[in-house]
Amino acid sequence: MSEAALAISNENPVLDTDFAKEMVRQMRAVDTYGTYDDWSVEKILDPFVLTKEKKKEIPVVGDPDEITMSRVKAYYNALSAMIEKECGLMAVPMLNLTHEGFGRAVITVGKLVVMDKTLRDVHRFGFPSLSKMKDEMDTLLSVALEIIGQHPKVAGM
């Protein structure tokens, strides 16, 4: 993929946020062969952006490949790391995905479930834009932190 074909511009203000930095950190963490070491931030985050044109190229029914599943894991790992950074308590992501791309993502803090999301069509996992992806993560983060604030004893167990 050439740099010109990327859906993310290097001037995108989202790239300077903690969200983007954590996403890149998580993507590099799941890269066991060091493929992403020389890649730009835009190129690493580009597969998360599914424009309408890209989405049309993906079949409606399909099985997710390992690369797509690692992106899903990186997304929820990043969310967990941001929860942990905000509240100071360890957040643990758990993903259960079938080979068909269905499952559930759960994040716990102590004995408290702070996020529970049903996953469908994981082979089409992505967001219309980087800012939409950040908005989704910000929403999940704020809800998780609100739940932790309501039940601090359970979160601290």
As averages over each run of 10 residues, the pLDDT of the chain (157 residues) reads 64 87 92 88 90 78 84 95 95 92 94 94 88 94 96 88
Whole-number pLDDT of residue 10: 77
For 110-141, letters b (16+ CB in 10 Å) and e give bebebbeeebeebbbbbbebbeebbeebeebb
Whole-number pLDDT of residue 2: 45
Whole-number pLDDT of residue 90: 95
Q: Which domains does the chain have, with CATH numbers?
A: 13-155 (1.10.3100.20)
Nearest to 72, CA basis, from 119, 21, 40, 31 = 119
Whole-number pLDDT of residue 1: 45
Whole-number pLDDT of residue 3: 47
Whole-number pLDDT of residue 13: 84
